[in-house]
Amino acid sequence: MNTWREFWDGAHSIYVSERHKDVHYRDVAEQLAAFVPHPDARVLDHGSGEAIHAGLVAARARELLLCDAAASVRASNATRFAGNPKIKVIGPEDVERLSDASLDLIFANSLVQYLNAAEFDWMLALWRRLLAPGGILIVADVIPPQVGAASDGLALLRYAAAHGFLGAALVGLTRTALSRYWKLRSELGIARYSEPEFLAKLRAAGFSAERLPKNVEHNPARMTFRALPLTN
């Protein structure tokens, strides 16, 4: 296993327990649902992961597209959401085939840190092309340069204490520290951006952009941005 794509396609211990996974995806889905601009919106969750509570988002939208690069994640999402006609599970090539200006909201939580600079620039151009005028791009959990493992670990422990899985988090952090995740993080690196750098990237890609006061995920030191396509 030598790439982030392969890592996410295999078994990993990023979630310290089933309760953690459930709380995490519910939290993300509730926040994503709140970003849906209107009931007729077509929404893309890009790098969705298992998105087990995506039904909460679909209930607020016309259509929800769940795209993940990992075939195993797509397979489990397709099974889980087979009974929900508003949810479509698609791959990265399907996203490329979507029509210009066909989406009202694009959401990418905890995705861009796993993309290299060229992949990220390519994705920004794709998002710009796909968003309808008045559409919204939310890019969340962006890691600033100074935020490292200690900040992530502490934030997870606080989140776990607040949601009743502190014991599992203490065990899980040790397991993660010894896992492939940290080995890969030191081998491949992870993309980090300062706030001004990230805003400049969004603006260069044709968006007006702002950092939101609160990050979508549990580490408040990471950042969430809202970007709106500029009209030419």
Ligand X SMILES: C[S@@+](CC[C@H](N)C(=O)[O-])C[C@H]1O[C@@H](n2cnc3c(N)ncnc32)[C@H](O)[C@@H]1O
Answer for which of 16, 20, 23, 28 binds ligand X (CB under 6 A) is 28
C-alpha span between 107 and 43 (Å, rounded): 8
C-alpha span between 163 and 171 (Å, rounded): 16
Of 109 and 219, nearer to ligand X (C-beta) is 109
C-alpha span between 172 and 196 (Å, rounded): 34
Residue 96: exposed, middle, or buried by beta-carbon count in 10 A (0-12, 13-18, 19+)? exposed
Q: What mask of x and - would describe binding to ligand X in positions 33 to 62, judged by CB under 6 A?
A: -------------xxxx-------------
Where does this chain touch ligand X (CB under 6 A) — which range of 106-114, 150-158, 205-213, 218-226? Answer: 106-114
Of 40 and 94, nearer to ligand X (C-beta) is 94
Of 30 and 100, nearer to ligand X (C-beta) is 30
Q: What mask of x and - would describe binding to ligand X in positions 108 to 147, judged by CB under 6 A?
A: -xxx--x---------------------------------
C-alpha span between 181 and 92 (Å, rounded): 23
C-alpha span between 110 and 209 (Å, rounded): 18
Of 117 and 231, nearer to ligand X (C-beta) is 117
Single-letter code of the amino acid located at 99: S
Compute the least distance from the CB of residue 198 to ligand X, in Å: 17
Of 187 and 232, nearer to ligand X (C-beta) is 187
When asked if residue 229 is in the footprint of ligand X (CB under 6 A), the reply is no
Single-letter code of the amino acid located at 83: G
C-alpha span between 168 and 17 (Å, rounded): 6
C-alpha span between 85 and 108 (Å, rounded): 22
When asked if residue 70 is in the footprint of ligand X (CB under 6 A), the reply is yes
Answer for which of 37, 92, 148, 153 binds ligand X (CB under 6 A) is 92
Under DSSP, the state recorded for 218 is S
User: Which single residue brings its beta carbon nearest to ligand X?
Assistant: 49
C-alpha span between 79 and 232 (Å, rounded): 42
Q: What tokens were used for 170?
A: 């203490």
When asked if residue 73 is in the footprint of ligand X (CB under 6 A), the reply is yes
Of 34 and 230, nearer to ligand X (C-beta) is 34
Please tell me the count of residues contacting ligand X according to CB under 6 A. Answer: 17
Q: Which residues bind ligand X (CB under 6 A)?
A: 5, 8, 28, 46-49, 67-70, 73, 92, 109-111, 114
